[in-house]
Structure 1
Amino acid sequence: MRVLDGYIGRQLLLGTLMSSLVLLILLGVMNLFNELEDVGKGQYSTTAALIYTLLTLPRYAYELFPVMVLIGSLGGLGSLAANAELTAMRSAGISLGRIIGSIMRTGLLLMLAAVALGELIAPPSEQYAQQMRADLQAGQITLRSQYGFWARDGATFINIRSILPGNQLRGIFIYEFDPQGRLLHATQAEQASYGQGLWRLEGIRRTHLDETGTRIELLDQADWESILDPGLLDVVVVQPHILPIWGLYRYIHFLRDNGQQAQPYEVAFWGKLMKPLVTLAMLFLSVPFLFGSLRSVGLGRRIFVGTLIGLAFYMGNKTIAYMALVYGFNPILTALVPGLAVIGISLLAMRRVH
């Protein structure tokens, strides 16, 4: 039976690899054309656009992973069905359940691949891509470290400990230097918000330094005219799709502790947690087609059907997630519904196969 498991597994993995390459190449070409429209903004070049496109592909691969597994299964294992190899296996006394078990064993490997892609590869790649693009287009020198976000505005250095959605900043430190590199002013603000073309600081402690000594000034609020681009902060703000599961978990608790809305991150957290199970469910969905109406059709038709089903699932999943944010649906149920729906449809289709 190990021979059977290995043979089915190789066909499934090969089909998934081929479908992934084709989809990612198509997405990469389309995204590159979009990025070429921004070439010339700041220091953003054609080479930078190409690098950015390549770095964002892991995120697309992760988002579309269940779809690619479905198409890969219909393509790879579908060839076994078209060549009557699956029928021969059943004629040799191998049960349908045993064949499905071989498929699901490989599915476990694909689940691990989805976890590795979503936790180890896509997040750092996406973060670097967005940071690089923002830096080159904005023309500002920026840096992210364990102490937050750093930016330079002429002779002024800015440190922001936390950047929240909606152009909200927490923990702002501003250091102003003279041409000789001597510190003139050090400003600390509890928070800041952007509106009407400028930033407004709140809870301010400003230290003035000169030859006579230091002077401390306390202000409730003050306007801050800075070239710090809110669009740049929109990029470096913590986006749900960029964070790994453990990062989402920590950030959700951070937002709750600070009285901030955590719903988008909760939906993303549970969606990522269910991604491996959804991948397995999509693989299971392909089984009725392999033994049913698509077993004798050509490769092109199987790929076409798989693509339609995959797109319908992807759009439905996105719609449910959006509705959860708008209407405040339970994040756990929001994440469970797509996978349970796929499993339910698969079980109904399996009854027809039997």
Structure 2
Amino acid sequence: MRKLDRYVGWTVFAAIALVLVVIVGLDAIAAFIDEADNISETYSFVQVSLYILLTLPGRFYEYIPFAGLIGCMLGLGQLASSSELVVMRAAGVSIGRLVWMAMKPALLIAVLGFLLGEFVAPKTDQWAETQRALAQNPGESFAGRHGLWNREGDTFLHFNALEAEGVVHGITLLQFDAKLRMVSSLRARRATFEGDYWVMEEVVQTRFSSWQTTRETYETMRWDTGITPELLTLEVMEPDQLRLADLYRYSRYLQLQGLDSEDYQLALWRKVLQPAAIGGLVLVAISFIFGPLREGTMGFRIFSGVIVGIVFRTSQDLLGPASLVFGFPPIYAALVPILVCLLFGMLLLARAR
């Protein structure tokens, strides 16, 4: 029985891995073509390639549920097409046993994906965004496309790029008075965090008054602010690119401040429940192979898997904003599609017995 477990498990694992590589490869090629439009003297072909390479862990993490669905269909479908599943059933192997054989490699990939999304992808995504911003805006202190806006009191802040070591590049501070008139602007090439304050370098400060404008330059300047590198990291990254601990901490911070935190709560629950989502999709794939797609062709199985995956992803994308509009807890938006998959898969398996 162990040899049979290994055989079925390896077949499913290899199919999921192959599908994952193909999907991520196509997505990376499409992203490279799109990013190639931004190639310039400073943002070269090599830097575009590096950017795409650094975003690969995040792409792998994003497509694992989809690959689990289609890969399981292909792996078990191959066994069904060669009548190996029929032989196993004739030898006394129950459907429940076969389901567990196919589920184990999918859960293994789910665990690997969780580790990838928690410990690798957030760092590589941040590094990728930093390198792209620096390459596209060399020596500039202001750019609006890839940078980060923030506000502290009457001062509006913009940063071009943020490094993980507590270094920001291209700082712009715009200070306004109570009547929303600009009273000063400050631009610096970069700033380094020194524990409880920042040290800005190559600073140009301009002050405005009703009768004159003065401009001063400094090699370095101390900047006292409550903004920390950790806070900037949380704000510059998309919610689904953050670690679980960061999502939980920042959503709690927003709640305590009376601010909207549903986006971060939704991303938190999606990450927590991703292994369950993979399990639900794989169960649907298994139920299709033992049910309506037992005699189907490989092309039709792939088509069916794509349709199920699109419906699952679309339902997630619709329920997420719906939770923000109608005010129901974000955990429901992440959990409902998974429960539907689990119930649907179990119903089909029950009919196949």
Per the TM alignment, residue 180 of structure 1 is displaced from its structure 2 partner at its CA by 10
SS of corresponding position for 2:46: helix
Q: Which has the higher contact order (CA 8 A, sep 6+)?
A: 1
Aligned to 1:326: 325
Secondary structure of the corresponding residue to residue 296 of structure 1: coil
The question of 1:90 aligning with 2:89 is answered yes
Specify the SS of the correspondent of 1:260: coil
Cα gap change, 1:6 to 1:187, in 2 (>3 Å) = closer
> Does the CA contact (< 8 Å) of 2:61 and 2:117 recur in 1?
yes
Q: CA deviation at 1:151?
A: 3.9
Question: In the alignment, what sits opposite 2:163?
Answer: 144
Counterpart CA distance in 2 for 1:337 and 1:155 is: 48
Partner residue of 1:11? 11
- Cα distance change on mapping 1:305 and 1:45 into 2, 3 Å: same
Instruction: Say which SS state the counterpart of residue 64 (structure 1) adopts.
Output: helix
Counterpart mapping for 1:26-175 below 5 A: 26-40=26-40, 43-140=42-139, 142-145=161-164, 147=166, 149-151=168-170, 156=188, 159=191
Q: Say whether 1:296 aligns with 2:295.
A: yes
Q: What CA distance in whole angstroms lies between the structure 2 residues aligned with 1:127 and 1:76?
A: 35
Q: Percent same amino acid among aligned pairs?
A: 30
Change (3 A) 1:236 1:53: farther
Q: Would the aligned equivalents of 2:171 and 2:190 in 1 still touch at CA under 8 Å?
A: yes
| Count of paired positions | 303
Query: SS of 1:66's equivalent?
Result: helix
- Asked if the contact 1:20–1:61 (Cα under 8 Å) also holds between the matched residues in 2, the reply is yes
**Cα pair distance change 1:344/1:187, threshold 3 Å:** same
Matched residue type, 1:12: V
Is the contact made by 2:15 and 2:75 (CA closer than 8 Å) also made in structure 1? yes
Q: CA RMSD in A?
A: 3.0
- Give, as a single letter, the amino acid of the residue that structure 1 aligns with 2:274: K
Q: Residue 210 of structure 2 aligns with which residue? A: none
TM-score under structure 1 length normalisation: 0.76
Residues 44 and 297 from structure 1, CA distance in 2 versus in 1: closer, same or farther, beyond 3 angstroms?
same
Given that 2:201 and 2:219 are in contact with CA atoms closer than 8 Å, whether structure 1 keeps it comes out as: no
Describe the shift of the 1:234–1:246 C-alpha distance in structure 2 as closer, same or farther (beyond 3 A): closer
CA drift of 1:146 comes to 5.6
1:148 Cα deviation from its structure 2 partner: 6.5
Equivalent position SS for 1:250:
helix
Contact 2:201–2:218 under 8 Å retained in 1 = no
* Distance apart, 1:91 and its partner CA: 0.4
Deviation at 1:190, TM superposition (A): 6.0
Cα distance in 2 for partners of 1:10, 1:146 equals 41
- Alignment-derived partner of residue 272 in structure 2: 273
Shift of 1:312: 1.8
* Structure 1 counterpart SS, 2:43: coil
- Give the corresponding residue for 1:201: none
Indicate the residue corresponding to 2:148 in structure 1. none
1:65 Cα shift?
Answer: 1.1
Residue number in structure 2 paired with 1:210: none
Q: Deviations over 1:221-254 (max 9, x none)?
A: xxxxxxxxxxxx8997132011011121122223
CA distance in 2, matches of 1:255, 1:352: 47
User: Aligned equivalents of 2:233 and 2:42: distance in 1?
Assistant: 19
Letter in 2 for 1:144: E
Q: Which amino acid aligns with 1:300?
A: G
Task: Indicate if the aligned counterparts of 2:266 and 2:334 stay in contact, CA closer than 8 A.
Answer: yes
Q: Distance in 1 between matches of 2:31 and 2:254?
A: 32
Task: Supply the AA of the counterpart residue of 1:89.
Answer: M
Query: Separation in 2 of the partners of 1:180 and 1:331?
Result: 49
Counterpart of 1:314 in structure 2 is 313
Distance 1:330 1:156, change over 3 A: same
Q: Counterpart of 1:352?
A: 351
The 1-side partners of 2:44 and 2:31 are apart by: 15
5 Å-filtered alignment, 1:235-250, equals 237-250=236-249
TM-score of the two chains, using structure 2 as the length reference:
0.77
Q: Secondary structure at the match of 2:240?
A: coil
Call closer, same or farther: CA 1:190–1:98 in 2, change over 3 Å: closer
Cα distance in 2 for partners of 1:155, 1:111 equals: 46
User: For structure 1, which segment, 271-280 or 342-351, has the greater mean C-alpha deviation from structure 2 after superposition?
Assistant: 342-351
- Whole-angstrom CA distance in 2 between matches of 1:177 and 1:106: 56
Instruction: Measure the CA separation in 2 of the matches of 1:56 and 1:186.
Output: 34
